[in-house]
Amino acid sequence: MGSRVQGSLTEPIVNASRPCTLAGLSLTVLKFSSEDPLLFQLALLVGAIMFLFSSLFIFFYTLYPTRRELWVLTSTTFLVGLCCAILSSIILLMMY
């Protein structure tokens, strides 16, 4: 019984940590890209913000699964974050 309650309490944190890891990676690359073009840095920054929003929305969706709009916001912000990550990779490839 105790592990079941503990699992339901840690599940939102575990779910939210996955997109948050991608945000951390984007911010790390942004930290070391001071000489890169502004568009590249902007794509990384917007991607990191979208991953953080996605993490926040998935945390609350795990707590309140009946709120359908939270799932829509989670998927939308995650996809925008992925598009920004792909865009920044394309910009980086075009630079070199």
Residues 74-90: tens digit of each pLDDT: 999 999 999 999 999 99
pLDDT of residue 5: 60
Q: Which of 5, 11, 13 is nearest to 56 (CA)?
A: 13
Q: What letter does residue 66 receive in the DSSP assignment?
A: T
For position 49, what pLDDT does the model report? Answer: 96
* Type of residue at 19: P
Provide, rounded to the nearest whole percent, the portion of the chain with pLDDT above 90. 64
For residue 86, the model assigns a pLDDT of 96
Which pLDDT does position 46 carry in this prediction? 96
On whether the CB atoms of residues 43 and 88 are closer than 8 A, the answer is: yes
What would the pLDDT profile of 20-67 be if each residue is shown by its tens digit?
Answer: 999 999 999 999 988 888 999 999 999 999 999 999 999 999 989 888
CA nearest neighbour of 85 among 34, 26, 32: 26
Is 58:15 a contact under the CB 8 Å cutoff?
Answer: yes
